[in-house]
Structure 1
Amino acid sequence: MDGETVHIRDVETLAQGKGKLTCVTYEQRRRDGEQQRRQREIYDNGNSAVILPYDPARKTVLLTRQLRLPIFLQDGVERTVEACAGKLDGESAERRIVKEMQEELGYKIMNVQRLFELYVSPAAIMEKIVFFTCTYSPQNRVSDGGGLKEEGEDIEVVEATLDEAAAMIAAGEIVDAKTVILVQYLSNRVQTAARD
């Protein structure tokens, strides 16, 4: 894949497991016209989707609490709070997030609202995340959730008010970027709707 100013010269696979780590050698024509040769390690573990369900009647959101090994290794925190998310694994983002909500949260919701797509760490990670929200109520609950044991998931479902979720961000209890984005986005949307 080459562009007007970028030419890929070599792609070497360094490691491959659930994801793939490659070393990409490329040449880039700088804005001053000079050619520059560079290398970058890129990790590709697939695209994903994330959702923050909202109950407007009770002003609550559904979150998950689970082990995230990089956070444990960095900060010693065993269980982190974040929005429900999952890898697409070849499915459409809408279809995948509906399945993830039922597996992880125990809620069956068929109507989700696609918000936007973002790269959270584009300097080194290929993953593009599709962000969603939806409305839910206690009537949509079909199980206790918890994820799939065969995939190593051990997920606790957390229901909090939107204000409590925002306070968890301020207190450093929510440190996951995609969750912070969704909580802030939804908070702004709810506040704007209340003013109108």
Structure 2
Amino acid sequence: MNPRIRNVRKLLLSDNWYTLHKVVFDYQMPDGSWVEQVRESYDRGNGAAVLLYNIEKSTVILISQFRMPTYLNGNESGMMIEACAGLLDGDDPETCVIKEAEEESGFRVSKVEKIYEAYMSPGAVTEVVHLYIGQYEESDRVGTGGGLKEEHEDISVLELDFSKALDLMDNGQIRDAKTIILLQHLKLLGLMR
């Protein structure tokens, strides 16, 4: 427990899609004084993401899907290019990314490598995202991907040359933080041409 935080009070604001709380607490400043602070905290659970890559072909698998919050914040189409990802929903992170990769991309991979854990928006969202990379081969394709019909997902699968994916990132067409981190990590490894 952090001794500089006391009197934490949570008020439930919404429990509709996920959970939004108003949190009031006392925080001790560096000079020793205590101030009351008020924040909102959105809890959607933790998630995991995986970037699938093929060294021989120098390609990566990404997906494109509609994201309402980006649409509301000026993304004209609301479409985002991303790595396969999802909420843990009771699974461990590795199981989650293997399952999400198959559902979203149609590729069933059996081995992934965890590279990081990151808070994507720590000022307001509790979620930790577990980040993975995983090699795929054409023989790993078991379906067309596109997400689960019962989850009303509308996902397009993109197999891109690695250099093209980096160009999309550099020119602002890939704006998703987890995907940028994963692409940069793969670039730093120097495995792809």
Give the TM interval when normalised to the shorter protein: over 0.9
Find out whether 1:56 has 2:55 as its counterpart.
Answer: yes
2:32 aligned residue: 33
Match of 1:153 in 2: 153
Aligned to 1:67: 66
Aligned length in residues: 192
Q: Unaligned regions of 5+ residues in structure 2, if any?
A: none
Q: Contact 1:8 / 1:24 at 8 angstroms: preserved in 2?
A: no
Following TM superposition, the consecutive aligned residue runs of length 4 or more in structure 1 with deviations greater than 2 angstroms are none
Q: Distance in 1 between matches of 2:108 and 2:8?
A: 47
* In 1, Cα distance between equivalents of 2:130 and 2:61: 18
- Measure how far apart 1:110 and its partner are: 1.1
Contact 1:102 1:108 in 2 (8 A): yes
- The answer on whether the counterparts of 1:106 and 1:144 sit within 8 Å (CA) in structure 2 is yes
Cα displacement (A) at 1:126: 0.3
Secondary structure of 1:94's aligned partner: helix
Asked if the contact 1:52/1:61 (under 8 Å) is kept, the reply is yes
Q: How does 1:77-88 map to 2 (within 5 A)?
A: 77-88=77-88
What per-residue deviation string (whole Å, max 9, x for no partner) do you get for residues 29-71 of structure 1? 1111111111100101110000101101111100001101111
In the superposition, relative to structure 1, how do residues 189 and 18 fare at CA in structure 2: closer, same or farther (>3 Å)? Answer: same
> Percent identity between the aligned chains?
35
Instruction: Report the alpha carbon displacement of residue 73 of structure 1 after superposing the two structures with TM.
Output: 1.9
The residue aligned with 2:136 is 136
- For the 8 Å contact 1:114–1:130, the answer to whether it is kept is yes
RMSD (Å) for aligned C-alpha atoms: 1.4
**1:8 CA drift (Å):** 3.9
In the aligned structure 2, how far is the partner of 1:17 from the partner of 1:186? 37
Contact 1:29 1:36 in 2 (8 A): yes
2:12 aligned residue: 13
Q: Distance in 1 between matches of 2:65 and 2:31?
A: 48
Alpha-carbon separation, structure 1, partners of 2:112 and 2:152: 26
Distance (Å, rounded) in 2 between the aligned partners of 1:121 and 1:70: 14
Report SS of the residue matched to 1:64: strand
Q: CA deviation at 1:77?
A: 1.9
Pair 1:105-2:105 in alignment: yes
Cα distance in 1 between the residues matched to 2:102 and 2:82? 16
Q: Distance in 1 between matches of 2:46 and 2:9?
A: 23
Instruction: Confirm whether residue 43 of structure 1 aligns to residue 42 of structure 2.
Output: yes
Is the contact between residue 66 and residue 79 of structure 1 (CA under 8 Å) also seen in structure 2?
yes
Structure 1 segments unaligned to the other structure (5+ residues): none
The residue number in structure 2 matching 1:172 is 172
Deviation at 1:9, TM superposition (A): 2.6
